Amino acid sequence: MDPFTKLTAVAAPLPMINVDTDMIIPKQFLKTIKRTGLGGALFHEMRTRPDGSDNPDFVLNKPAYKQAKILVAGANFGCGSSREHAPWALLDFGIRCVLAPSFADIFYNNCFKNGILPIPLPQEDIDKLMDDAERGANAVISIDLEKQEIRGPDGGCLKFEIDPFRKQCLLNGWDDIGLTLRNESRISDFEAHRKMESPWL
């Protein structure tokens, strides 16, 4: 998992509440267990027309936001089913941070496991960042995880809270497997000792 330290990027506005995981990645794209290749299906039903062509009105299809790495969204983002493909699709598209007033619990946890920083903020802060994000290519927002700060295009600064353990995992790029491998030598020592103590196992 790539570490998350500082991110300065274009932020795309998605002023919708209750964006569920089926909207993020529709069910027909869940046949794979690979974490790559899903970015093209992100928000598929909103990004594409019935004939399969791009919907020019959807924010991530607009030239100013095609390289967006930050998403500013409405409340209850990531609700619905627990599919981990949702953060996979966001990450494969390039989104590393989602700002919203609130998140569905399972989606929120899955984001941290996949290197995405979800930041819940008061509605008034989201309203300000949404306004910033609507500036198009000038909608550049900076996020400093170590300092727990968000800076908008006008230089204004917002602070955010995050669980210290999750913060350290993101800063170091530790997913669940990475956390386990930090104890690889102790695990190997235990297995070797157990083999000597109980060779019949």
Question: What separation in angstroms does the CA of 130 have from each of 16, 119, 125, 144, 184?
Answer: 11, 14, 8, 18, 44
Task: Identify the pLDDT of residue 193.
Answer: 73
Strand partners, 98: 71, 118
Task: Identify the pLDDT of residue 179.
Answer: 73
- At residue 125 the predicted structure's pLDDT band, cuts being 50, 70 and 90, is very high
DSSP one-letter code for 104: -
Task: Identify the pLDDT of residue 79.
Answer: 97
Write out the E strands in the chain.
6-14, 70-73, 97-100, 117-120, 140-144, 149-151, 157-159
Closest CA to 5 of 170, 153, 180: 170
Please write the tens of the pLDDT for every residue from 145-155: 999 999 999 88
Task: Identify the pLDDT of residue 35.
Answer: 80
The mean pLDDT value for 126-144 works out to 93
CB contact set of 83 (below 8 Å; sequence gap of 6+): 21, 25, 30
Task: Identify the pLDDT of residue 34.
Answer: 80
Using CA atoms of 49, 61, 128, 143 in order, give the dihedral in degrees to the nearest 10: 130
Q: Which domains does the chain have, with CATH numbers?
A: 6-174 (3.20.19.10)
CB contact set of 129 (below 8 Å; sequence gap of 6+): 11, 72, 99, 121, 141, 150, 152, 158
Over pLDDT 70: what percentage of the chain? 98
Q: Is the pLDDT of residue 140 over 90?
A: yes
Structure tokens at 24: 């993020």
Task: Identify the pLDDT of residue 201.
Answer: 67
Structure tokens at 187: 């695990």
- At residue 182 the predicted structure's pLDDT band, cuts being 50, 70 and 90, is low
Please write the tens of the pLDDT for every residue from 2-15: 999 999 999 999 99
What's the CA gap between 14 and 19, in Å, rounded? 9
- At residue 181 the predicted structure's pLDDT band, cuts being 50, 70 and 90, is low
Please write the tens of the pLDDT for every residue from 23-73: 999 999 988 878 888 999 999 999 999 998 999 999 999 999 999 999 999
What's the CA gap between 66 and 18, in Å, rounded? 23
Kind plus residue range of the DSSP H or E element containing 26: none
Q: What pTM was computed for the model?
A: 0.88
